[in-house]
Amino acid sequence: MQGNFHSSAFGSDVSFQSYRARSYGYWPLGEHLILGGRADLRLVSGEVPFYRLSYIDLRGIPSARYQDDNAGVLELELRWNFTRRWAVVGFAGVGKAWCDRASFSDASSAASKRLGARYFIARTLGMYVGADYAWGPQDETVIVQVGGAWH
């Protein structure tokens, strides 16, 4: 969990708060499959500048395209290690950005999908490198990935 407080008492031009709670984990599904999951919730209140609003943070969706006071993301990733060094990954995620002034069901939402390949470059560190192709409601992108995607 994380909280940030901005106040004129501390030299800020505006007074607002931002909060973030996130969790992720990986679970083996047999010898060659790994399931990963991530949940991410962002909340803001006060006189929030537009560039500090909560937003949907998913691969395949441009950063800050869907913004509001609150944003939540759920994401799943499945990795198949088909050799000791090589793997393929697939993922799907959904996010929603909403505020207190409108109903949750009417809020902006978006989903994205991704396919990629990984090479296990550093066994002692457990680090993969690879490339992904991701697509969302409006855009498609290629992402070069070093290490884990969730931080």
Residue 66 counted as domain residue: yes
* 12, part of any domain: yes
pTM of the predicted structure, to 2 decimals: 0.86
Of 85, 82, 92, 83, nearest in space to 36 by CA: 92
Report the number of distinct structural domains present in the chain: 1
Any domain includes 96: yes
Looking at residue 139, what is its pLDDT? 86
Q: Is-contact 129 121, C-beta < 8 A?
A: yes
Residue 23 CA to residue 4 CA, distance in Å, equals 18
List the pLDDT tens digit at each of the 151 positions of the chain: 899 888 888 888 889 999 999 999 999 999 999 999 999 999 999 999 999 999 999 988 988 899 999 999 999 999 999 999 999 999 999 999 998 777 778 888 899 999 999 999 988 888 999 999 999 998 899 999 998 877 6
Rounded Cα distance between 4 and 20, Å, is: 9
CB half-sphere exposure, 97, CA atoms < 13 A: 18
Q: Looking at residue 56, which CATH number applies to its domain?
A: 2.40.160.50
Domain presence at residue 135? yes
Residue 151: inside a domain: no
Residue 45's pLDDT is what? 93
Residue range of the domain that includes 68: 2-146
CA dist list (Å): 14 to 8, 11, 118:
6, 9, 44
